[in-house]
Amino acid sequence: MRFVVIGAGMAGILAAIRLREAGFDDVVVYEKAARPGGTWRENTYPGLSCDVPSHFYSYSFALNPDWSRRYSPGAEIQAYFTDVAQRFGVTERTRFGQEIVRCAFADGRWHLETKDGTKDVADVVIAATGVLHHPKMPDIEGLDTFAGAAFHSARWDHAVPIDGRRVGVVGTGSSAVQIVTAIAARVGELVLFQRTPQWIMPTHNPAYSEEEKAGFRAHPEAMEEIRRATSQQFCDGFANIIGDTESPILQAMHDMCVAHLESKVQDPALRERLRPSYRAACKRLVIADGFYEAIQRPNARLVTERIARVEPAGVRTTDGVLHALDVLVLATGFHVDWFVRPMQVTGWDGVRLDDAWAHGATAYMSLTAPGFPNFFMLNGPNGPVGNFSLIEVAELQVDYVLKLVDELRRGTCRALAPSGDAMARFDAERRAAAKKTIWSTGCRSWYLDETGLPTAWPFTFDRFRTEMGTPRLEDYERR
């Protein structure tokens, strides 16, 4: 069988490695960019780091004894993925600068086409296209009239100087918090435009000493133990209790965030403007240190009035005030509901994925969709998201995919996809469970669809492990 993997980010690198380990030699990876890395290649803004401990945010088969800190900076994570891709032979199998724009299933195989017209054929497609790489630009009047430099946080322009200048940041998610913390002491004036305040969980990010790194190299089992313990902590402390809104653990998490805000922000008026009106963990928790100190610097201002428009000189808010700026950073997130789009995918009987997803992206067990055989989406719709490692999620998903692929290898069928009945049953159960999660307790976040329903995996992470361990073959239509 021939396999095409779309994307050379974290999940694509993983898929290519595991396919080779399973004995499949005809594997090619298509990557739209010039190098691997996914979201860690796309994002290079000041202060970029992962909010998952590094020894947990690592492949289980490629633990790294040389992480510099507990939570490593983005450039270090990018270097790690580049190194793994090279060491495990993924780089040589990757066609860089080749963006897949069309996939069509015909005559028992997938027919693919790139943006430059290159064509390929595969028996199995693994879409590792990610979710945090299509920047979402805000719909703000006059944005194109700004006389200074304006760019999305995921397209940071390092040629633009910020030292001593007036810099505005739009947004208050993880990226904005990291950027503000990193640049507040460098810029002349910092203006943070806040639409919704965020709960911030305090953390400690110590550096690993050379002695500790040497210990990891000599005793790799120590890294495995850190990974195991962290996974258990994240599951018991979040992923297994999202459906129990009365959980004392969630309440303790909320209390920690409240205590962090109240102990760090001295000005009562500023403290209340930074205080969210929803429960902690309703949105993805921002895990960071130093933000509250940064926003209280003499050169920093928090603006909570809504933005009316952008003008050549800066940003004017609805109270009529013009906030003069030299640089405008748009930390406004991503199109997280695109998944494989804008790629055009056509499955059995001419069914188009855009039509199947006309009312929202869904996938059976977060991986597959009815009518699209031998097409697997890593970290796809309805998959687990939250404050834990997506590498662990992807490793479990690839194990599941390989079990299904084994059906093809053994010749029980040439193509398989979930049945419509199985999808409907799973989606009904998902929707019912989603209404009972912490994400449905009164906030607006990127976890929610247009109707306000959480789209992420609403069950326990333990159930996800179980489902990924043994595919329900009876739920699949095989031809």
pLDDT score recorded for residue 93: 97
Compute the average pLDDT of residues 53-79: 96
The pLDDT of residue 262 is above 80: yes
Residues 6+ positions from 471 with CB-CB distance below 8 Å = 365, 400, 403, 404
The pLDDT of residue 224 is above 90: yes
Burial status of residue 172 (CB atoms within 10 A of its CB: 0-12, 13-18, 19 or more): buried
pLDDT score recorded for residue 336: 87
Give CA–CA dist 50/76, Å, rounded: 10
pLDDT score recorded for residue 131: 86
Give CA–CA dist 308/229, Å, rounded: 48
The pLDDT of residue 157 is above 90: yes
- Same topology, domains 3-134+335-478 and 143-199+244-330? Answer is yes
- Output phi, psi for 162, to 5 deg: -120, -15
Give CA–CA dist 454/437, Å, rounded: 8
**Out of 16-30, 132-146, 220-234, 236-250, least confident range:** 236-250
Compute the average pLDDT of residues 443-469: 93
Burial status of residue 175 (CB atoms within 10 A of its CB: 0-12, 13-18, 19 or more): buried
Q: pLDDT digit string (tens) for 245-256?
A: 999 999 999 999
Contact 418, 356 (CB under 8 A): no
DSSP-based three-state secondary structure for 110: strand
Contact 134, 7 (CB under 8 A): no
Compute the average pLDDT of residues 224-240: 90
What is the sign of the dihedral through the CA atoms of 316, 322, 327 and 331?
Answer: negative
Q: Residue 458 — very low, low, confident or very high, per pLDDT cuts 50/70/90?
A: very high
The pLDDT of residue 387 is above 80: no
Q: Which residues of 408-429 are buried (b: 16+ CB within 10 A; e: fewer)?
A: beeeebebbbbbeebbeebbee
Give the residue from 317, 291, 292, 294 showing the smallest Cα distance to 193: 317
- Give the number of other CB atoms < 10 A from CB of residue 461: 23
Contact 441, 282 (CB under 8 A): yes
pLDDT score recorded for residue 35: 97
DSSP-based three-state secondary structure for 104: strand
Residues 6+ positions from 216 with CB-CB distance below 8 Å = 63, 65, 66, 208, 222, 223
pLDDT score recorded for residue 385: 81
Q: Residue 464 — very low, low, confident or very high, per pLDDT cuts 50/70/90?
A: very high
In whole numbers, what is the pLDDT of the chain averaged over residues? 96
Compute the average pLDDT of residues 147-171: 98
Contact 114, 47 (CB under 8 A): no
pLDDT score recorded for residue 235: 87
Compute the average pLDDT of residues 420-434: 97
Q: Residue 238 — very low, low, confident or very high, per pLDDT cuts 50/70/90?
A: confident
**Out of 24-28, 85-89, 165-169, 234-238, least confident range:** 234-238
The pLDDT of residue 132 is above 90: no
Q: pLDDT digit string (tens) for 357-366?
A: 998 999 999 9
pLDDT score recorded for residue 15: 98
Share of the chain above pLDDT 90, in %: 92
Compute the average pLDDT of residues 151-155: 98
Q: Is 366 left (phi over 0), alpha (psi -120 to 50) or beta?
A: left
How are beta strands 314-317 and 307-311 bridged, if at all? antiparallel
The pLDDT of residue 152 is above 80: yes
The pLDDT of residue 234 is above 90: no
Give CA–CA dist 280/289, Å, rounded: 16
- Output phi, psi for 90, to 5 deg: -80, -40
Share of the chain above pLDDT 70, in %: 100
**Out of 164-173, 235-244, 296-305, 459-468, least confident range:** 235-244
For the domain made up of 3-134+335-478, give the CATH fold.
FAD/NAD(P)-binding domain (3.50.50)
Give CA–CA dist 28/3, Å, rounded: 6
Q: Residue 309 — very low, low, confident or very high, per pLDDT cuts 50/70/90?
A: very high
Q: What is the CA radius of gyration of the chain?
A: 23
Domain ranges of the chain: 3-134+335-478, 143-199+244-330
CATH architecture, domain defined by 143-199+244-330:
3-Layer(bba) Sandwich (3.50)
Compute the average pLDDT of residues 426-454: 93
